[in-house]
Each structure stands twice: as C-alpha cells, then as structure tokens.
Structure 1
Amino acid sequence: MTDLWIISVCFLAELVMTSTFTNSTVQCERQDIYHVRVIAGEGLYLPCPHLQCSDEMNASAISWFKNDSNGIQQIPAEESARVHYHGAILYILPLALNDTGRYITRWWYEYDKCDEFETDVVVYEEFHTDQLYGNFSEQTTTVEMLCPVCEKQEKNLTWYKDFHLIPGQTEWILRVRHTSKKDDGIYTCVCSWEHYGQTFKSSGSHQLQIVEPAKRYPPKILSPRNNSIEFTDLGTKQVLNCSVFFGTNVRDRFRIIWMRNVTPLEGVKGYSYYTREVNRTVLSVLNINKVSETDLHSVFRCIASDANKWVQVLITLKTRESVLPLVMMFLCMILLFLVTVGTMKWFAVDLVLCFRSFWIVWNKRDDGKVYDAYVIYQKDNMDDETEKNLAHFISTVLPTVLEDKCGFKLFIHGRDDLPGEDSLELTDARMQLSRRLIVVLTPGVSKGQKVMTPKGYDWHVGLHQVLVQQEMSAILIQLGGMSKYSELPLGLQHLLWKTPPLRWDSGSPQAACPGSRFWKQVRYMMPVPTAAAYCPKSSSPRPNFSQA
C-alpha cells in the first residue's frame, strides 16, 4: 500500500512538472539557426544544438517539432516511429528525401523560461558538393577538421580523402600537418553506430583547399584594348566586359568602376555592373539595358585601381552598318558573273571565230597537209529523197560554204577522184594529207534498213585514223533523224559518244549561210585556214596529184 502511494505521488509530480514545462502561454526565446546536410538512406543522430541542452537529463524538459507545409507538427517519442526523439536526441532512421525541412527544439530550462533552437536539415539523394560543411582554404601549418556527425555517442569512425580510406584515422578530429597543394581534396567522416540493436551509418564532408600566398601587382587591364569600338544597335541591350589582373589571391584593396564620360554609373537607372573573379583575373561586367543616342555619342570608361595606382580603358559604341548594300553588291556580282559566263559560253564560238579572223593573217602553217578535211558519206541503201538531199548537201552546200566562202580546202570522195587511180591507194594518200575527217550521217531506209550501214574502205580508214591512230579529229554532220545509234557499228557508236553530231536542217532559210549557228559550229571545229587560202572563190579548185 505504501509503494502504491509513493508511485502515485511521483506520477502526479511528473505530470505537474510536464504541464509546467509545456506551458503554451510562455514565449520561448529563439536562438541561432543551425544547418545539417545529410544523404538519404543514412541514419541521423541529431542532439539539441545547445551544449547544455544536449546534456539535459530530464526528458520532459525537451520537445521536438517539424515545421513543414502543414504547419508545426510535434514529433512523437515512440521508439516504433521512424522519426522520433529521446530527450535531447532526434532520430531519423533511415533518412528520406521528404525529411528535408526545419526542425524545432524547445528546451525548458526553468518552469517559465525556454529556448527554441531551429535546425535546417537538407537531405540529398547522393553526395553533392553543396553538402560540404566547410572550405578550409587558408594556408596554415596544421589544419584541424571536426567530424560533423556522430557527436557524443559510441561509434566506429573512419576518415576518407577523395573517397579513399585514410588508414589509422579514427578520431573525431582529423589533423592535417605541414599542408601543401597535394593535401587539397574532400575529406569525409563516416561513422557507424547502433540504436536498439540496429546499425546505422552517418557521414559528413569538408573540403580542404590550400591557396598560395597573395602576390599583388599593379592593376593591368587585359581586355578590352584602349579606344576599342563595340558595335551595337540602337534600343537594344549591350554588355561591356572589362578584365583586370591585380595579382594572385588578391581578395581586397582593389576596385573597378564604370563611367560614362565623367559620370559614374553606379546607381544610375538603366545601367548596372558587377564584379567576379575568373581564372586569377577580376571581371567587371557593365549592363546597358537600352542603348540610347547619348550612349552612341559618349565614351565609356573602365577604371581599375588599387592602393597605389589606377588605370583605365576607353570604349565607344557604334551602330552596326546595314549589311543590305553588301548583300546587294554581292548578289549583283554573282549575277554579273553568271551573265558573263553564260554570254561567253553562248558566244564562245563567235569569239573564237572573231579572233581566228585576225590570226589568219599571220597563219603560215607548213604541216605537210594539203586538205583541211576529208569528206566521207554513205553511198547506197538510201531512198530517193534521202539520196537527193545528200547529193545536194555534198555537191552544192558543203563546197559553197566551206570552200567558196570560208577558204577551206576539202577532198570529197566521188568528186575529187582522178580517173584510173587505185581506189585504195587514193583513199590512203588523201587521208594522210587531210587535217580533219568530216563524216556525213544519213538514215538508211531502203531495203528494210532502219539505220545507216556505212560501207567502204574510206569509212574503215577514216575511223581507224580517228579512233586508233588519233592523227586527225572528226566532225560529225547529221542529215535527217537518227534515233537508234545503238544499231550502228561499235566504232561509229564510240565516235558519236565522244563527239555529238551537228544536225543540218535542209529546210532552214540559213541552211547555206556561213553565219548560221550550224556553220559556225562547223567552222569552229575546222582548222584555221591559211592566209593564202582564205579568199572567196567562184569554184572549188581541183588539186592535181599527178606529180604527187
């Protein structure tokens, strides 16, 4: 009975004390905000941020809360909860991404007085440089780094440098002695600890960066060059950069300002600039929100100074010239070039013939040749109309134009043969004395023939001279339509593939005019006539080969 009475008294005292400590009418005094950065999947052992608060033995004097989107929610003390607390210690086992938030610790150190501590917990999915607790960048003899996790608890602790184990380092404080650049890196403390039979891991990292001693130099503006010009457009945004070298590891006692003419631009509406360090240089960036006419007629100054010297560069703005005139000029030049090339290609034959007319005066060729061209043509397997058309071309048109009017000398088989001469010897001899081979093509339509079938020794010798020996070139003239070249002899097909034929139209009013397009093409392919031969003649001469 006595024991029951004692238990009842103790319970009532605890209840009174708890109600006193949690009196909502008392306003707690807020303290500094603390920051914790952890990784999801690990365990969080978070003592009350205040030293005396973390040693508080009376569990009823401390309460934990989380401030999230739903307001301030009290954290339970039940061990079964993933997020719970035991007195001055908050446990989150294990951490999840949605545990990120602000945690509030209320400590009632007297019945009517309390302090409130806020801790921002940020949970990362994996390691990130944003969770580094410190950046020890000053050069010292010895650097000490405290393990940011597992404070005041039994644990197994290891240290890593750049995620590689540092052997033998198991203390809460890691000391790096005689530091140098090789000691730069990320140092991570990992501890394993148990809570009610379960093992959890916590980690925290520092970054150590050893910097060289500061070396100061007189300010030197690296860019832009003095009196430089920046091209812009009226009414647009413009950015001006000014890069200055003050030395290495110089973080103070220097200044960069911008001026327009003699007016400082700091605080002026429409202008703003900022300064940052980039690769051992200081970069100052001036932003002009909208380029005005005044800006185009002003001089911008970038002025860099330290305690002993100042330097400046001058920058002017100019509007970009329109590229339309350049584009138009370029298009006109291209058009003129295309017209010139097209004109030259169209009138190439006329130009060659024009220059050839002047060259004839000095042309005294002595190559042993007698004829400018040897003419071969089909002599049978033709209907009456084709035969009549061929005879008119061979006997009248060809000699009249090329011999009488243009001064060429032709050998026409059947016209210039001498009676009694051997046909084979005659053909060989006249071919050797000719500079060109004129091949007249006609359609063969008689006796079931659909294409011409050239026969004769002169065809054989002529094609051999042109295709095999290559001692002369051929001029192909086509009379009438020929649509099936594939049925011609192979040698003649090859010649047609190399040299497309010129088609003569007997019904054209300029069929016998030397100035027509057809005859200009023929004259272009003929050799240059000599000065002695270039004169109109009433009839073609008959060469005398009796003495040859």
Structure 2
Amino acid sequence: MRYRAVKGEIFMMPCKSWSRVEAPKKENVTEISFAHFKTEATHSGNYTCHTRAGLQLLHLQVVNNTVGCSSVEESRVTLWVGQGGQITCPGHNCSNSTTSVWHKGNRRVSELILRGKEVFENGSLFLHEVSKHDNNVFFCDRVVSERGVNWTIRRSVTVKALEPEKYPPRILSPENNTVQKVELGSSNTLRCEVFFPEADPGVVQWFMNDDGALVNMTMATYREEKLDWGLCIIGKVIIEQTTAHDLDKTYICFTQNKSGNNSSTVYLKKIQWPSLIEYSLAPLLFVTCLGLVVRVKWMEIQLFVKSRWTFHKPELGHKDYDVFLSYVWTRSSTELASSHRRHNNHDGAFPFSLDPLEVNVPSERLELLLPHVLEDQWGYRLCLMDRDFLPGRAYTTAVANAIQRSQLLICLLSADYLSDNNAVFVLESGVQTLLQNAGVKLQLIWINRGPVSLPQLDPPLPVVIEKALKVLPALKWTSGTNTNFWKCLRKAMPHQKLSSLQK
C-alpha cells in the first residue's frame, strides 16, 4: 500500500494496528487502531500494517503539497445543523481522478447508518441533512497513477456543525403607526409584505380593532414568493366601500413564526379636499399642480440631492469598508473565472496587469476586473459577498450590515442583475439607506447596456428602484479600453480611504 499525505494535515492510518519499520529511536511501537495524527516530514517511511486481509507493508510519503492549487480553506468547512451541506475533497480540481472514497472518522461513509442520504458527485460529498454528529474529521481518498505505480492521496477536511440562528419574521411594509389616506365611498386595499428568513414560515393575518374587540379579517389575496435566502409573503385585505365608521377603527398586520412575532398598525384618514370658493382658480390650480409634481417626484428629488452629497467625515472612522461591491455571475463570466483559476500561478494572482489601461481581459467581464483594480491597484478595501459574508447568517441582516459598514455601494447593473432576487434586494436596500443616511453613497455601473434597452422584467422592479434608476448617477462600461470610464470612477470613489485613516 502506498499513501501520500500533505504536511501539516491530519492523517488516519488505514490499519487496525501498525508499527514503524526501521524507525529511529523509539517510534517502532504498535499504535492504537486507526490512529489520527498531524503529519510531519519525519513520518515518511515504511510501516507494517495489520488489515482485514492480513499483514501488509505500507509506504507513507509526506509532501509539502500534493496538489499545488489547493488552499488551506478547503480543509475547513462550516455546516449548519438541519440543512444540507457539501464537503469538497481538497485539490479535487487539480487531478484527473474525480472519484473519491470518503471516510468519517475511521468508517467509510457508505457504511454509516444513514446510508442512502449521501450523494457523491465530482469528488464532493453532499449531505442530505447535517446533524451535530457530523462535527468530525472527514477523509477523502483519491487514487492516482505515476509511472505505473498507484498512489492513494488521503486528504482531511475538518467539519464544524453549528446550530443555525433563529430570526422572527420582519414586516417590510407598512411601517408601524402608518396613516393611510382614503376616499369615502371608494374601495381601499390594506397590504402587508412580510419577509421570513426560513423556508418554513408562520402566518400573516390582518386584524381590525373595533373599540377594543379584535376581529379577524379575511384576506382577499395571499401571495408567496420564494427566494434563495427566505420567503416573502404578501397578505391583502380589500375594504369594498370605505365609510366614516371605518375611520374610527385600527388595522393590525400580525405575523408569527416559531422564532417570534411582529406586528404593524395602520390608521385610515379621510382625504381633505380644499374648497375652491376660498381661492381664485388660477393660483389654486398652480399650487395644486406644483404640489402634485413635488409629491410624485419627491423621492427622485431626495435621491438626486443625497446621491451628490459629500461624505460625512466624522463617520469615516466608524466604517469597516471603503466599497461594498455587488454583482451577479453570468454563465460566461463564471466560465472565464474558472479558466483563469486553471491557468493561475499557485498564489492565485490573475495573469494580467492590474493597470486598467493595460489589462488584457474581455471588456464585458467587468465583474472580474473591477475588484482587482479597486483593491490591488487603487488600494481600497472591498466587501465581496462571496468572500466576506459569513455562511449561515441571515442574508437580509448580512446585506444591511455590509451597507452600513461601507462608505460606497457599487452595483454592476445588467438584465441578469435586475432579474436576480438577491441582487435586487441589495440595490433596494442601498437606495433605502441612501434615503435615510447621506453618509452612504451609491454608484451604479451599467454593463454593455443601459436602462432603455432592458427587457420587460417579470415580476417588475420595485417602485423605489425604478425611480432610483432614473436619477442616480451612473457610469456605462463599453467594449474596449475606456480611459474616461476609469477617470469618472476614480472621482466617484471616497477621497479618504480607510487605510490612510488607520495610519
């Protein structure tokens, strides 16, 4: 038997008992069955190994790195109890052998009690449901042939199984103590939009408080929208004909799941129409029209002013990131990124210059180029979702925290971006934060196309995003080297970087 291990990793002897052959000093004693130990260079050598087939000779070779493109992160995986999980064999993409034999502790995975619930694919182990007992060390064996000699490469993955955090539902709209203006005699709709962080939600219900008595209102519309990071439920109640008696009642949207509950209150108020007798017709029409325009365009006015507002310098010291970069991976950009990784040096550096005027990469792949220009060339500190987000945390909370901890949010817009629920949530959260706090700025970058050429999206974009796309400053990335694009982007970046503040 010939085994190869990586120096510094945990190794498991495939024997019931073993001893060192010609070992220096006192290392030739028989060890405990299936011993686990952290490998060192001195462990290379020959061993006698007692297996089910009898006594065999085992040759162990400890090398610095059997597969140079593997990383330390592949040897540690965090999974969440009660959810599915994936364990990837370290360096599986760096060998022609895609078949792996998995062990949990000293037993093969196929021999476990929960057999049939594990799936093997492309060198990875997919767990149907993670349990607290999976908090263990997993080993994967791959067989490679060198000059007619078969070697078994044994790699270890330390799995940490954690209990997921529980979150109560969050009411997105309406806000608590909202006053909704209605017209007597007309039909009015009460709409409650609730986000559940879990795939198994609770309930959404409307109640009417009539002089202290709670009346359960029947919802006319109940719609569910499944998202990758949770579930959004919309409950609607239609008041067919609003009367003066309805104005004296309080309407409550109540939601609850197994982690907690939440509620929001709505009051109805009659629309007060001004009397035309007290004013001349022309000034009244002018004031009314002006008020309507301001009211309709008020959000655009706020976004226009706050997007061009200067950074609040007192808040810079409280920020952890210069830029939170949001984008989506298209199929072509993912294939290009994989191609770069296959042809990379061992240190993971991109095989092209970071100078934006000298790069040699397809121009439409800005999601590949921009992080390296901002972070490695210009020295800004970035927050990237696929790198800096902790696994298992609530997506909405992670996005909100990342925006609050950043000076600038950059969104790379495209048809794929605006069709992705997670990306749209990031953009909508950034716009809402901008409306509330001018200390966070927002920069949009269109990739290859502008908003005019976008297809008709289904479902349509939220109103706040449609308004933001009209007034927020935006740059356009075009084919070829665009010197003016980089100059404009540099002007939009924070003038004072966190690295200089820390100095």
- Same structural fold, with TM-score higher than 0.5 when normalized by the shorter chain: no
Greater radius of gyration (CA): 1
Taking structure 2 as the reference length, what is the TM-score of the superposition? 0.28
- Return the TM-score normalized by structure 1: 0.25
Larger RCO: 1 or 2 (CA < 8 Å, sep 6+): 2
